[in-house]
Chains A and B, each alone.
Chain A
Amino acid sequence: MRALIYLVLTLCALFYMLPLYVMLVNSVKPLDEITGGGMMNLPQVFTLVPWARAWSSAQIGVEPTGLSPYFWNSIRMVVPAVAISTLLGALNGYVLTKWRFKYDTILFGLMLFACFIPFQVVLIPMARMLGLMGLAGTTRGLVLVHVVYGVGFTTLYFRNYYAFFPTELVRAAQIDGAGFFRIFWRILLPSSGPIAVVSIIWQFTNIWNDFLFGASFADANSQPMTVALNNLVQASHGVKEYNVHFAGAILAAMPTLLVYIVAGRYFVRGLMAGSVKG
């Protein structure tokens, strides 16, 4: 019985590992090994050329730039978007738990629902708005978009976390004479490490992996990694360089995968908090 359980679990593990295996082995072999039916085999000739091509010389759209400029586009978009949305979420969570007022739960509900809408419904007006604000096709525009649609989640995290933070501490600090921001900086924030990590990881993963907003609102100078990867893979001209596609896919997956491996515990916590809110 136990052997059967282990067998099933192992087979499933192989199923989950399969695409990663396929991507890895095929990203380091010459193209003819793949087209010759050797997709599942370990490489006979080991080569890093596909990685080099994917990074710096593959044809993306019209330019043979490789994925590297888009990688930096993504970084320039992700870092401020994560920082701003997490900070806003922390402040919102603080207000919503420690400075409660009438109808605050309804307001929070409105913010939270915003995370779940199909973003198709805001694409058209958002494109217009970014145009009006002069942010169309810019990284700053994408940062704005990701902050707007991410702040509900970050607020959720901090709100749930601060709900368990003893309100008596806030009261003690009030009696001690600390004001609104002082209480936040000196009392709450120093204890917010774990949830800040959760929020940062969640936002980082989501924003890095986003495709819809990148495809809709970015131009060639601000397109993120995911859009570039899709352009690389979907390119209809020339020989399909599968090994380069796989190397590119790994490059696009690398940052989030690293975060997952290093801080998987927090990643899972964020995932759970986003689903089971109770």
Chain B
Amino acid sequence: MAVSARMDFKSRLRIWLPKLVLSPSLAMVLVFVYGFIAFSVYLSFTDSRLLPSYGWVGWENYSKLWRLSHWEISLANMGIFAALYIGSCTALGLGLAIFLDQKIRIEGVLRTIYLYPMALSFIVTGTAWKWFLDPGIGLENVMQTWGWETFGFDWIKNRNLAIYTVVLAAVWQTSGFVMAMFLAGLRGIDNEIIKAAQIDGASNWNLYRRIVIPQLRPAFLSAFVILGHLAIKTFDLVIALTGGGPGRATELPATFMYSYAFTRNQMGIGAASATIMLMTIAAIMIPYLYAELREKR
């Protein structure tokens, strides 16, 4: 069949038009995301310092990186931060969601209150918590003036404990979001299943433990993936709250990368650390996105 021969320019344009419309976005993404990723990965194998330079040095930046105590601290902090952040957000979010799901009269108001931190910039969050936790003017000072003379709370100034204040502020910011995800999951559970379980004589505790929470698996997965990738990307909050300090006590890979690439003139090492961050996130996100996009077929 000579179908194509019959087609004039107009009909051919009509067939290509949708792809044409998609192409600017696609081109942007290909260049600015994937092209740039390739460039950064390439830089991580070069001797770039203040400016990109193209002397090939192989794995040298990576081996240097892994010998840096600064990087080691960042990773250790990341471990503490990610574990506590994901764990606390999930626990708090799930608990609040279950409690809110008990036909609470002022649910709307409470939901609004739990979720508003998500609308704030991390810089605002960081500023508020920075001064609230500051021993000089914040909680410690307040408690002492209220008469609790021995009260001490100087975590934000303490090398060993400062990372936990980052966890606190981050949990404050995102746990409401996790609550909303779990609440949506709870609302999606078939009411008849819950009625059936109640008729079967399940107590509230067993109802949640055996019937409801297992059905929230998709919400758990989403929460884990979203929180995991947020954890790895955490940057602004640390900058505003502690500036990475005291010392290097709250450095995370994101702040590490920033300072090596832009203030310490070690672009190669910065690029290497960014590559490692990317790989970690890709390991979480790609299977997730793949599963999400496939299901719809």
Contacts and interface: CB of A to CB of B under 8 A. Distances in A.
A4 B184 CA distance: 23
B96 A9 contact: yes
A264 B286 CA distance: 30
Interface stretch (B67-75, B194-202, B271-279): B271-279
A271 B118 contact: yes
Contacts of B164: none
Contacts of A45: none
B248 interface: no
B39 A120 contact: no
Interface string A63-93: 0000000000000000000000000100110
Q: Which 6 A-B pairs have the closest CB atoms?
A: A37-B145, A99-B18, A209-B121, A260-B119, A19-B128, A211-B236
A234 B126 CA distance: 11
A148 B32 contact: yes
A12 B96 contact: yes
A67 to B, nearest CB: 12
Interface string B214-242: 00001100110110010011011001100
B21 A120 contact: no
Interface stretch (B1-9, B55-63, B136-144): B136-144
A234 B117 contact: no
Contact of B127 (A112, A128, A152, A245): A245
Given A233-B240, A275-B222, A257 B180 contact: no
B121 to A, nearest CB: 4
B17 interface: yes
A82 B196 CA distance: 48
A241 to B, nearest CB: 11
A124 B121 contact: no
Interface residues of B, number: 102
Given A16-B176, A252-B123, A121 B36 contact: yes
Interface in A169-223: 179-180, 205, 208-212, 215-216
A226 B121 contact: yes
B183 to A, nearest CB: 10
A180 B17 contact: yes
A128 to B, nearest CB: 7
B267 interface: yes
A30 to B, nearest CB: 13
Contacts of A210: 121
19 contacts: A12-B114, A13-B110, A20-B128, A37-B142, A91-B22, A108-B293, A109-B290, A110-B29, A112-B293, A122-B36, A125-B39, A125-B43, A129-B32, A163-B296, A180-B21, A209-B120, A209-B122, A211-B123, A234-B243
B252 to A, nearest CB: 11
Contacts, number: 276
B104 A9 contact: yes
Interface of A: 2, 5-6, 8-9, 12-13, 15-20, 22-23, 26, 34-40, 88, 91-92, 94-96, 99, 101, 105, 107-114, 116-126, 128-129, 147-149, 151-152, 155, 163, 179-180, 205, 208-212, 215-216, 226, 229-230, 233-234, 242, 245-246, 248-250, 252-253, 256-257, 259-261, 264, 267-268, 271-272, 275-278
B153 interface: no
A161 B58 CA distance: 47
Contacts of A117: 33, 37, 278, 281
Contact of B114 (A16, A39, A230, A234): A16
B137 to A, nearest CB: 6
Listed residue (A15, A95, A208) with the most chain B CB atoms within 10 angstroms of its CB: A95
A105 B104 contact: no
Interface string B91-124: 0100110011010100000101111111111111
Contact of B124 (A9, A17, A229): A229
A95 B141 contact: no
Nearest to A41: B142
Contacts of A124: 39-40, 43, 52, 261, 267, 270-271, 274
A123 to B, nearest CB: 7
A101 B40 contact: no
